[in-house]
């Protein structure tokens, strides 16, 4: 296997997943922690969670780690919230400017179709597209020499 950067041939490369995990806040790494010393680990985690719930995510994660983050699944919750507010806003507009009833019925039908389509899209993405993206991410490397990110196949 050729483990070097394809653009500058440097061997100083790192797997994206490694960069990502190394840059995560300590709370995350301890929660995944070892099985020995469970009680100590739990105390540590409890204290950590109690003291830093507010600033846990984000601030303590390194920039490199954020850049190397894995592809995310689409959220059903966000999709639903988006559809809900979309519906409310359109409905308010319709009620304010249109007297007749039928456009609202039409709106509801369109909205229902849109909802099914969007949920289906999210499902397709999460079950078909996302896994291959995750695999690609797992096989991706970052070159510490020139900053190139590249995929490593097999």
Residues engaged in binding Zn ion (CB under 5 A): 5, 8, 10, 143, 145-146, 148
CB of 1 to Zn ion, least distance (A): 17
Strand partners, 141: 15, 150
Nearest distance, CB of residue 136 and Zn ion, angstroms: 19
Identity of the residue, 9 or 66, whose beta carbon is nearer to Zn ion in the bound complex: 9
Instruction: Closer to Zn ion by CB, 19 or 27: give it.
Output: 19
Give the nearer residue to Zn ion in terms of CB position, either 122 or 141: 141
Smallest separation (angstroms) from Zn ion to the CB of 60: 28
Do residues 69 and 20 make contact, with C-beta atoms less than 8 angstroms apart?
A: yes
To the nearest whole angstrom, how small is the minimum distance from the Cβ of residue 20 to Zn ion?
A: 19
Task: List, as one string, the DSSP characters of the chain.
Answer: ---S-TTT--S-EEEHHHHHHHTS-HHHHHHT--SSSHHHHHHHHHHHHHHHTTTTTTTTS-HHHHHTPPPPPPPHHHHHHHHHHHHHHHHHHHHHH---SHHHHHHHHHHHHHHHHHHHHHHHIIIIIHHHHHHHHHTEEEETTT--EEE---
> Residue 34: helix, strand or coil by DSSP?
coil
DSSP state letter for 141: E
**Closer to Zn ion at the Cβ: 14 or 60?**
14
Which residue lies nearer to Zn ion by CB, 61 or 144? 144
**Whole-number minimum distance, CB 71 to Zn ion, in Å?**
22
């Amino acid at each position: 296997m050729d483990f070097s950067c394809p653009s500058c041939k440097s061997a100083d490369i790192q797997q994206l997943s490694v960069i990502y995990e190394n840059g995560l806040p300590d709370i995350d790494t301890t929660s995944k922690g070892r099985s020995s010393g469970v009680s100590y680990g739990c105390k540590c985690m409890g204290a950590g969670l109690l003291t830093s719930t507010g600033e846990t995510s984000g601030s303590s994660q390194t920039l490199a780690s954020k850049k190397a983050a894995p592809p995310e699944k689409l959220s059903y919750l966000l999709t639903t919230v988006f559809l809900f507010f979309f519906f409310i806003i359109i409905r308010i507009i319709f009620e304010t400017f249109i007297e007749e009833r039928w456009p609202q019925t039409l709106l509801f039908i369109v909205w229902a179709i849109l909802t099914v389509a969007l949920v289906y899209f999210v499902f397709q993405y999460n079950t078909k597209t996302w896994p291959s993206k995750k695999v690609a991410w797992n096989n991706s490397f970052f070159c510490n020499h020139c900053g190139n990110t590249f995929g490593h196949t097999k």
